[in-house]
Chain A
Amino acid sequence: DADVTQTPRNRITKTGKRIMLECSQTKGHDRMYWYRQDPGLGLRLIYYSFDVKDINKGEISDGYSVSRQAQAKFSLSLESAIPNQTALYFCATGSWEDGGFTDTQYFGPGTRLTVL
C-alpha cells in the first residue's frame, strides 16, 4: 500500500462549489503539507501542519482552508472554487527532529482538479 494516499485523484467541478481533497498517510510522520502545482511551474505551499490542531499558512493560502483531523489525515477545502484554482494538488508528509527533517518528505500521487 502507498505511504501517502489522496482522494479523489481527479475531480471536475463548477465555479462556486465547495470541494474537499483528502490525504492520508501511514508513515507516522508528524508534519503534513498541501502543495499546488500549476502547469509548467514548481510546487507552491498552501498550508502545513506540524501536529494535530496546528495549522500554518503557506505561500498561497487565500481561498483554501485545511483540517488536521488526526495525525494521519489532513484535508484541504476550497470553500468556493474558482477557475484559477485549476491545478494539480499534492499532499506530503515529513518527520522533524532536532531542528531538521529526519527523512525525505513523501508525496502523494496528486489530485488533478479542474474548475469550470
Chain B
Amino acid sequence: EVQLVQSGAVVKKPGESLKISCKGSGYSFPDYWIGWVRQMPGKGLEWMGIIYPSDADTTYSPSFQGQVTISADKSINVTYLQWSSLKASDTAMYYCARQYCHGANCNPAMFEYWGPGTQITVSS
C-alpha cells in the first residue's frame, strides 16, 4: 500500500527557517516523482514543484521558484520542502503527493497519492 507520511504541524516566527518532510513507503521511492502543493487558509490548491528522488531532478512552478527548496534523500525515502526565511504569508497547509503512474500512463506533474498535509503557521 502506497503511503506518504508527513511531518507534524509547526508554528514558527517570521524570518525563521524550516524544513518539512514527506516519507514514502509501499513502492519504489526513487522511481516516482513527488510533488508539493500549497493550500492557504480557505483557498485553493497551488502546485509548487516536483522532484525525482532517483537523480534529484527538480521542477518548480515559476510562482515558487526561489521561494522554497525541494530536495530528497532516497536512502531514507524522504522528500523535503524548506524555507530559509519564513513570512506570514507562508501560513498554509502543505501536501506532498506522488505522481500518477500506471503502466505506460505516467506523468510527473499529476498526483495520485497524497500525504495528510503539514500545517505551517508563521506568526510573530
A and B held together in a complex: no
